Amino acid sequence: MRNYMNTHHVAKILGVNIQTVRHYIRKGELQAARVGKRYVVTQEDIDDFLDRRKETLALEHLGLSEKGQETVARIRGDASRILTYLEECPGAGADEIAKALALKKADAQRALLRLEGKNQAYCESGGQKADRQRDPWYPGSPENE
C-alpha cells in the first residue's frame, strides 16, 4: 500500500512553506492527486521532484547558453525513448537503437552514456575495453539485479 502525504507533511519534508508546495503542484513540478479539496503526494512523487530540481539547479549553475540547454533537453528526451526501447529489446546495440528510433548514431551514444551514468542502463563489455559501437545495452543497473 502506498503512503500518501498531505501538503503539510510534504512542506516539512522539503523544508518549505505549504503555499510553496501548492505552487509546485499547480505549476506541475510536483505530481499530486486531488482528494476532495486536498492534495495528496507519494514519496515517489517527492523523489522525482527532487531529482528534477537537482538537475535543473545544476544546469543553472553551469550557465549554459540557450542552445546548450536545448541540447541537454534533447539528450534527456532521447534517453527516455531509448530506455523504453531497451525495456522492450534488451541487448540492442547502439546502431540498432539509433535506427529503430530514427536517431543520429552520435545522439544515441550520448543518450546511452547519460543512462549509464545514471545507472539506468549499462553496457556489457565482455571483460575487455568496451566497444561502444558494438556492445549491447540493457535497462537497469547490474548492481540492482
Q: What is the pLDDT of residues 23-62, one digit of tens each?
A: 999 999 999 999 998 999 999 999 989 988 887 777 777 7
Rounded CA gap, 108 and 101, in Å? Answer: 9
Domains, the chain, in order of start with CATH, read 4-58 (1.10.1660.10), 64-144 (1.10.10.10)
Q: Is 138 exposed, middle or buried (0-12, 13-18, 19+ CB in 10 A)?
A: middle
d(CA 43, CA 60): 26
- H helices present in 2-141, as ranges: 7-14, 18-27, 43-62, 66-88, 94-100, 105-117
8 A C-beta contact, residue 137 and residue 112: yes
Q: Return the number of other C-beta atoms located less than 10 Å from residue 122's C-beta.
A: 22
pLDDT class of 136 with cuts at 50, 70, 90 = confident
User: What is the chain's mean pLDDT, rounded?
Assistant: 85
Q: Look-up: residue for cell 545495452?
A: 137
- Cell of residue 73, nine digits: 533537453
Q: What pLDDT, in 10s, does the model give residues 45-55?
A: 999 899 888 87
